[in-house]
Homo-oligomer: A and B are copies of this chain.
Amino acid sequence: MYPILLNSPLFRGLTLEELTHLFSLVKHQIRHFRSGELLAQAGDPVDKAILLMEGRLQGEMVDFAGNSLKIEELDPPQMVAAAFLYGPKNKFPVFLNAKTDGKILIILKKEFTDMLSLESRVMVNYINIVSGKAQFLSGKITFLSLRTIKEKIAYYILQMVKSGGNNYVAIDQTQTNLAELFGVTRPSLSRTIQEMEKQDIFTWSRDNIVIKDLKKLNSILGR
């Protein structure tokens, strides 16, 4: 069990001995979950630190009309709801669903707090994690602030290009998924993609996008 945690952002920098020692001092438990299980609802209290050790979780926000907006997917060994354990509002912001079978490590808040004081490296790691969450959410807001679907598509592609480098982008998402991620309906996304293809901005096939006119793509975002 511990080797997985050594690679986690929270325990990064610790040796196996140090980690083992730490866990001998701090109470904790393991819980298994099944694919499809609802692990937490928006509004549930957050009173424990949760580390995903195996499996895949998905956090999704459900708006009041019942539509859902996928927010993020979690893979091990990440923390769950890290930014909601402290601060003024200790409630789950999203619905947490299991996409596969897996298991989580649970440490009650009090114990977790003790652990932070016991190991300052873990505390620094934790600050980095929470900061990273805030930064992720900030980026999400940038994205959601884009007004038109064209802008969202352009932004999405340009983000991918930046990390990739070329005029070629591999997609591992279906349009159905992307529509959810963008917070728009699937036919609308499809239609807009067709329009942009007709304008010779890019070609979009199942598994990749080839940019044909980078200038046009940039100009959609006014740059």
Contact = CB atoms under 8 A, between A and B. Distances in A.
Nearest to A222: B64
B83 A146 contact: no
Integer count of this chain's copies in the complex: 2
Interface in A91-136: 93, 116-117, 120, 123-124, 126-135
A183 B83 contact: no
A221 interface: yes
B83 A134 contact: yes
26 contacts: A63-B145, A64-B146, A64-B151, A64-B223, A65-B151, A83-B131, A83-B134, A83-B135, A85-B131, A87-B128, A87-B129, A87-B131, A87-B132, A87-B134, A88-B132, A89-B132, A93-B142, A123-B123, A127-B127, A130-B134, A134-B134, A137-B138, A140-B141, A141-B144, A145-B183, A147-B183
Please indicate which of the listed interface residues A83, A117, A131 has the most CB atoms of chain B within 10 Å of its own CB.
A131
Interface string A41-77: 0000000000000000000010111110101000000
Given A138-B137, A140-B141, A131 B132 contact: no
